[in-house]
Structure 1
Amino acid sequence: MSNRLPIIPALNDSGIHYYQTYDESLALWPVHYETFYVPTRFGQTHIIASGPKEAPPLILLHGALFSSTMWYPNIADWSSKYRTYAIDIIGDKNKSIPTDLCGTRAGYADWLLDVFDNLGIEKSHLIGLSLGGLHTMNFVLRASERVESAVILSPAETFLSFHQDFYKYALGLVGSNGVENFLNWMMGDRYVLHPNFGKQFYAGVMWQDELRNQKPKADGFPYVFTDDELKSVKVPILLLLGEHEVIYDPQSALHRASTLVPGIEAEIVKNAGHVLSMEQPEYVNERVLSFLSK
């Protein structure tokens, strides 16, 4: 495993601790990988790459506060067929190093275009969960010529606004028992995070860094795409939602997506909630590979 590092700005104690927990989570990665950074106009972007270098590319975009290490239950299957690039979304809690807060939907698409260009990728499949799903749809709408197909898992907003409970639990994360309450709300008694990953999630919540605590903008995220935007999608889309989703009503999101997005494949995954790639990895891994192979 290689690790080509840029010059990393000095980290405070909570940042140093977070990096340590990130590496402990990465120890769960079950296949060979290399980590490196690519430059973009918005800062250095950290990437975990696996799979044969000659295989078709597959970009992975993680959920908020989860980082690219969240894909450890999926990466063995997906990297057996694709050259996977798990990308730490700039501005979120992870190992990417933002220098300019793009913050807008257009800026985030430009950031991802820079990543594509610096990886030498002309066109790729994309998979995104939660925040990563929102980024995926944003990129599909702004750079469809660079996307072979896209898998959107439990997207943040995108089709429906957050349930008011989301803000209650998200804003309470840094309070007493905030992380435990948030995870219990999101996952119930169906799933418990691996201890390594749980430590990383907690450390990310507690890491105070102005460049990774962006303020919402009117033209940024979160965002619900308009009917006209969704009708304009030009690439094949697979949407998977958990039957126990709590950030919005999954049936309503499924209905709006199925009604508006041309040719979309959409389904509710049984016995899964928001983080369905972790909760039901065997089914999700197989369903994704089946869709990507079409």
Structure 2
Amino acid sequence: MASIYKSERGEAAIQERYQQFLDRWPVANKRLQIATRQGETHVVACGPLNAPPVIFLHGSAANSAMWMGDVAVWAKDFRVFAVDVIGEPGLSASSRPPLTSQAYALWLDDVMAGLALDCASLVGISLGGWLALDYATRQPERVKSLVLLCPGGIGRQKVGIALKTIPLRFLGRWGTKKARELVLGPTSTDIPPTARPFVDFIALIHEQFRPRMVKMPIMSDTALKSLTMPVLAILGGKDVLLDSAETRHRLEHTVPQAKILYYPESGHLLPTQTSEISDFLREAVRQPYR
């Protein structure tokens, strides 16, 4: 299997930088390595031990550092488990089984077993949203509630933007920056100094990491109708990667209990939704177990 990194030096640089972020995790935490059938899976656990459990699944070309700006709020009320997705630039195994298989649901079964969880809420963004959906449609009795931020698997995945970024990837650092801006929008010139290290980390990942070049499978109407748990979907109307209008339409017709927050002027990089997610998870906890 080809490496998910462009070089051993690039892999070492990403992991070293990621370790530096983890060392600055904003709340007391425990870092776990869980054995799964896909290899070791890295999890950052924080929050009260007896609080309702919530599993966070990041997107493609990312890792659990993406939650650091919000985790201090969520960890007040929940036992947070930030999972490094396999095959992504975190500290989990580099395994990438086909998305068309049940391998990822079985992997999450193993993760939950390693965390001694029978049921948990899931929060996923983009690819992480697809993983959360895939698991919830296969194991609905194990998902207390579901939060989906610009999720894959419901609306059409756009390919035009991917074709536009291919030539840019051969133009070094400048091309990588332009490709990233096409997907996430231009980098603001007003980025606070405290956020600059994370922006630089994202740039390093895009320079040294090989992202998945496959489409996320689309969930059937039957699968979506099996989502009987509380569902929150947060979508950006100008998402260049996923058809958010189609995502909203399908959720409205197949998951009528879903709460949908639709931001017409936002793209794949959504505005902060920290309090909305907290409020939704707290309300879901109060609902009786199905």
Map 1:110-129 → 2, pairs under 5 A: 110-129=106-125
Q: Does 1:166 align with 2:161?
A: yes
Alignment correspondent of 1:183? 180
Alpha-carbon distance in structure 2 between the residues aligned to 1:147 and 1:262: 17
Map 1:197-212 → 2, pairs under 5 A: 197-207=198-208
Report deviation, 1:235: 1.7
Q: Which moves more between the two structures, 187-196 or 49-58? A: 187-196
Root-mean-square deviation (CA), in Å?
2.4
Alpha-carbon distance in structure 2 between the residues aligned to 1:144 and 1:150: 10
Map 1:1-294 → 2, pairs under 5 A: 12-26=8-22, 29-98=25-94, 101-104=96-99, 105-156=101-152, 158-169=153-164, 171-172=166-167, 174-176=169-171, 177-189=174-186, 194-207=195-208, 216=214, 222-269=216-263, 272-276=266-270, 280-281=271-272, 284-294=273-283
Q: Which moves more between the two structures, 226-235 or 58-67? A: 226-235
SS at match of 1:293: helix
Structure 1: tracts of 5 or more residues without a match: 1-10
Report deviation, 1:189: 4.0
Report deviation, 1:213: 6.2
SS at match of 2:20: helix
TM-score when normalising by structure 2:
0.84
Report deviation, 1:101: 4.0
SS at match of 2:178: helix
**Aligned-residue identity in percent:** 28
Alignment correspondent of 2:4? none
Is contact 1:134-1:155 (8 Å) kept? Answer: yes
Alignment correspondent of 1:4? none
Q: In the comparison of the two structures, how many residue pairs are matched?
A: 270
TM-score when normalising by structure 1:
0.83
Report deviation, 1:290: 1.4
Report deviation, 1:75: 0.5
SS at match of 1:52: coil
Structure 2: tracts of 5 or more residues without a match: 1-6, 284-290
**Measured at CA, do residues 153 and 146 of structure 1 come closer, stay the same or move farther in structure 2, by a change above 3 Å?**
same
SS at match of 1:180: helix
1:167-204 deviation line (CA, Å, top 9, x unaligned): 22554563213331232123324756933223332333
Alpha-carbon distance in structure 2 between the residues aligned to 1:168 and 1:27: 37
Amino acid at match of 1:203: L
Alpha-carbon distance in structure 1 between the residues aligned to 2:196 and 2:181: 15
Alpha-carbon distance in structure 2 between the residues aligned to 1:183 and 1:272: 16
Report deviation, 1:33: 2.1
Alpha-carbon distance in structure 2 between the residues aligned to 1:213 and 1:273: 20
Alpha-carbon distance in structure 2 between the residues aligned to 1:76 and 1:270: 28
1:18-41 deviation line (CA, Å, top 9, x unaligned): 111212333553222222211001
SS at match of 1:138: helix
SS at match of 1:257: helix
Amino acid at match of 1:198: V
Q: Which moves more between the two structures, 237-246 or 130-139? A: 237-246
Alignment correspondent of 1:6? none
Alpha-carbon distance in structure 1 between the residues aligned to 2:90 and 2:168: 17
1:116-156 deviation line (CA, Å, top 9, x unaligned): 00110110011000010000100001111111000000012
